[in-house]
C-alpha cells in the first residue's frame, strides 16, 4: 500500500478498511454504457466520447440531417437559441463548459472566469434512444426532466474523473488477507459514491468511523 494513495482508514477488532485514491481508473466513459453522448472539442485535450465531428457546425448538421432537415437549416438560424428550439424537438441536449487552470473541471453551467474557461461541447441523447431505453412511445415532461438530470449526472461523474476524485476500497482482516475490494468510485462521499453499499453490514461500524 502506498501511503500517499490513502484517503481514509478505519480499523476495529476484526478488520481494516482503507479507502484510497484510484490512480489507475480509465474513466467513466471507458467500456460502459451511458444514456448520453459527450461531444467535445479542444486543441490540447482529448475529452469526452470519440467522434468524427470537426467542429460544432459539423455536429449540428449531422443532428439536423437525422431529423430530416437539410444543411441549409443551420445557416438560416438567426441565433443559437433558435437552433436549439429546433434540435430540442428530437434531442435532449446540454452545453458543457471547461475550466482549465492547472486542473480540469467541467460543468453544464458556465464558470465565472472568462479567461480560463469556455464551452467545449455538448452532452446529448436522441428522443429515439430515450424511447428505446425506457420502452415508451411518448416522452412526458417528467421523463424529459429525468433525462436532463441523468445527463447532468454523467457530466458530474466525468468531472470527478478529470479532477482525480476517484476512489477504491480494500477491506482486510487483521492478518492482511483481503476480505473484499473494489474500485472506480467517483466522488469522495462514500455514502453516495457506492462504497458504503458494497461493504457488508458486518463492517458498517468501519464506515461510520470513516464518517
Q: What is the mean pLDDT of residues 59-73?
A: 92
Q: Residue 61 — φ and ψ, nearest 5°?
A: -60, -40
Question: pLDDT digit string (tens) for 80-127?
Answer: 889 999 999 999 999 999 999 888 999 999 998 878 899 999 999 999
Q: Answer yes or no: is pLDDT of 79 > 90.
A: no
Q: Domain range holding 73?
A: 1-211
Please count the structural domains in the chain.
1
Q: Answer yes or no: is pLDDT of 3 > 80.
A: no
Q: Answer yes or no: is pLDDT of 63 > 80.
A: yes
Q: How confident is the model at residue 60 (pLDDT cuts 50, 70, 90)?
A: very high
Q: How confident is the model at residue 78 (pLDDT cuts 50, 70, 90)?
A: confident
Helix (H, G, I), strand (E, B) or coil at 7: strand
Higher per-residue pLDDT: 168 or 79: 168
Q: What is the mean pLDDT of residues 165-182?
A: 97
| Separation between Cα atoms, residue 18 and residue 9, nearest integer Å | 4
Find out whether 189 and 166 touch, Cβ atoms under 8 Å. no
Strand order across the 37-40 sheet: 37-40, 117-126, 91-101, 103-107
Q: What is the mean pLDDT of residues 166-182?
A: 97
| Separation between Cα atoms, residue 2 and residue 20, nearest integer Å | 9
| Separation between Cα atoms, residue 40 and residue 94, nearest integer Å | 12
Amino acid at each position: 500500500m502506498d501511503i500517499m494513495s490513502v484517503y481514509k482508514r478505519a480499523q476495529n477488532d476484526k478488520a481494516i478498511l482503507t479507502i484510497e485514491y484510484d490512480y489507475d481508473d480509465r474513466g467513466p466513459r471507458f467500456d460502459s454504457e451511458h444514456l448520453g453522448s459527450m461531444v467535445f472539442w479542444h486543441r490540447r485535450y482529448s475529452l469526452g466520447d470519440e467522434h468524427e465531428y470537426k467542429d460544432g457546425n459539423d455536429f449540428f448538421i449531422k443532428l439536423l440531417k437525422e431529423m430530416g432537415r437539410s444543411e441549409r437549416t443551420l445557416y438560416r438560424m438567426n441565433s443559437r437559441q433558435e437552433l436549439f428550439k429546433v434540435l430540442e424537438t428530437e434531442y435532449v441536449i446540454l452545453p458543457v463548459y471547461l475550466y482549465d487552470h492547472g486542473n480540469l473541471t467541467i460543468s453544464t453551467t458556465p464558470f465565472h472566469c472568462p479567461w480560463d474557461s469556455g464551452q467545449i461541447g455538448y452532452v446529448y441523447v436522441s428522443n429515439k434512444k430515450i424511447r428505446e431505453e425506457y420502452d415508451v412511445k411518448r416522452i412526458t415532461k417528467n421523463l424529459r426532466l429525468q433525462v436532463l438530470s441523468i445527463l447532468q449526472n454523467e457530466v458530474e461523474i466525468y468531472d470527478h474523473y478529470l479532477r482525480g476524485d476517484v476512489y477504491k476500497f480494500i477491506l482486510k482482516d487483521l492478518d492482511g488477507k483481503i476480505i473484499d475490494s473494489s474500485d472506480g468510485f467517483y466522488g469522495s462521499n462514500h455514502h453516495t459514491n457506492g462504497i458504503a453499499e458494497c461493504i457488508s453490514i458486518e463492517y458498517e461500524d468501519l464506515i461510520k468511523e470513516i464518517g
